[in-house]
Structure 1
Amino acid sequence: MGAKAGIGGTYGAMPELFLKLNQLIADKDLETARELQYAINAIIGKLTSAHGNMYGVIKEVLKINEGLTIGSVRSPLTPVTEEDRPVVEAAAALIRETKECFL
């Protein structure tokens, strides 16, 4: 069909990784692209493992990794709770580690 773009809820948390993945595919470096995709999948798994909504987790990750304070999610989405803090920290760390490995 020739699609050249996507809309992804997780792109904002790690845009550099998705841009790198796109470049690896364009360069036909499919083995490295596969490895990066698996790493991204693990990050997405972590982002979606909290009690709070994934978008709330992403906002907290952006605060940790990028210094952005952009508030929380609006109702009816469930905000991140204190018990989600380990998930948020782990997701932020996974993103940093994956950037170090692939960028």
Structure 2
Amino acid sequence: MGAEAGIGGTYGVMPELFLKANEAIEKGDIALARKIQYKINDIIFGMVKCEGHLYDVIKAILAMNGLNVGSARGPLPRISEKDQAQVKAMHDLIEEAKKEFK
């Protein structure tokens, strides 16, 4: 589709989904690639609903996966207590999507 690579923080929390979408494109299965991309979009939209900065949300999800990389540095806002449920929901949605598109 014209891209050789991409840079993005959201790749880090769900690389499997991006790789599956790319694999579907390479096989010519655009319908599957689109379905995966829509799921990725839903996850990203959910992540940016948090009060904390997207990078802090990403780092919290990585920590839930056993990769503790700390939190975002100021002046970026950190996730709040209120954000915890949303962060967990996005983590769970990623895990469900990985199983769905395995």
- TM-score for both structures, normalised by structure 2: 0.95
Secondary structure, aligned partner of 1:3: coil
**Number of residue equivalences:** 102
Partners of 2:54 and 2:62 in 1: how far apart? 12
Q: CA RMSD in A?
A: 1.3
Identity %: 50
Gaps of 5+ in 1: none
Aligned residues of 2:43 and 2:94 also touching (Cα < 8 A): yes
Runs of 4 or more consecutive aligned structure 1 residues displaced over 6 Å after TM superposition: none
Q: Summarize deviations over 1:37-79 as a string: whole Å, max 9, x none.
A: 1100000011111000011011111111x21111100011111
Aligned-residue offset at 1:9? 2.1
Classify 1:42/1:2 alpha carbon distance in 2 versus 1 (closer, same or farther; 3 Å): closer
- TM-score for both structures, normalised by structure 1: 0.94
Gaps of 5+ in 2: none
Partners of 1:16 and 1:3 in 2: how far apart? 18
Q: Summarize deviations over 1:5-26 as a string: whole Å, max 9, x none.
A: 1111210111111011111001
